[in-house]
């Protein structure tokens, strides 16, 4: 195997590992955003506030929490 082929394989390996990491971290972020949105909407409905605004705030906080959790784990 020549040197050029080794470089190509190494690049493919790095790209594949990078994509796997991104997919794994996105999973927790999406779950956190969904849970946050549901929780925010529930709090907004319970307090007679704007449900949509509460859901957006909850989604943002949940996504941030999910991303931090994925980085830490």
Check: CB of residue 25 under 8 Å from CB of residue 70.
Answer: yes
pTM of the model: 0.60
Domain ranges of the chain: 24-73
- Reported as a single tens digit per residue, the pLDDT across 7-47 is 888 888 888 887 777 777 677 777 888 888 888 888 888 88
Phi, psi for residue 47 in degrees, rounded to 5: -100, 10
With CA atoms as reference, report the closest residue to 67 among 29, 27, 30. 29
């Amino acid at each position: 195997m020549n040197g050029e082929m080794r470089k190509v394989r190494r690049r493919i390996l790095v790209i594949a590992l990078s994509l796997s990491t991104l997919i794994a971290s996105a999973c927790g972020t999406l779950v956190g955003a969904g849970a946050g949105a549901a929780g925010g909407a529930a709090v907004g409905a319970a307090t007679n506030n704007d449900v949509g605004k509460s859901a957006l705030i909850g989604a943002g906080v949940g996504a941030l929490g999910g991303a931090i959790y994925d980085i830490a784990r």
